[in-house]
Amino acid sequence: MGLFSLVTEKQKWLMFALVVLAPAITLIARGFVWGADSFAFMSVACGKPFVNDIGHPFFAQLVPLFGCNFVLIVGVMTFFYGIGLLGLWVFGNRVLKKNGYMLPFVVGSLTPLFFLEALRFENQLFGFSLAFVGLGLFTIYLELRDLYVDE
């Protein structure tokens, strides 16, 4: 019986919520986005771009919709961060089984890559989130495929 076998479902969801909110709290405490490219995207969002092309046509059309509302931007970034970690939760529970719920905690807090991307207002956060959701949906598909395949 390991240490993590004593964790209840309620405690798992509370830990998940804390990991999801960590970048948002960091950004609100800092008062602005982090990273050099983030300033370019923020300038486009505020309607005063200092670069002519941010290089991503879809994202370039999406960014001005935010306006210069920092709280809205943090909310959207937190939403995508949470959705990405939720995709990892599904993947972990389906593939790693017993301790699969630990995967989003490790990726979201112990490895710096995804956490640091959650602090940057850039397109990588959206890409990682969509990839993790896709991974979770793929594992659901693999599980359901076995239920409906006639052999």
- pLDDT tens track of the chain, all 151 residues? 455 567 788 888 888 898 889 888 988 888 777 766 676 677 777 777 666 666 667 766 777 777 778 888 888 889 999 999 999 999 998 888 888 888 888 888 887 888 888 888 777 888 889 999 999 999 999 888 876 665 5
The residue among 137, 138, 118 whose CA lies nearest residue 128 is 118
56: left (phi > 0), else alpha (psi -120 to 50), else beta? beta
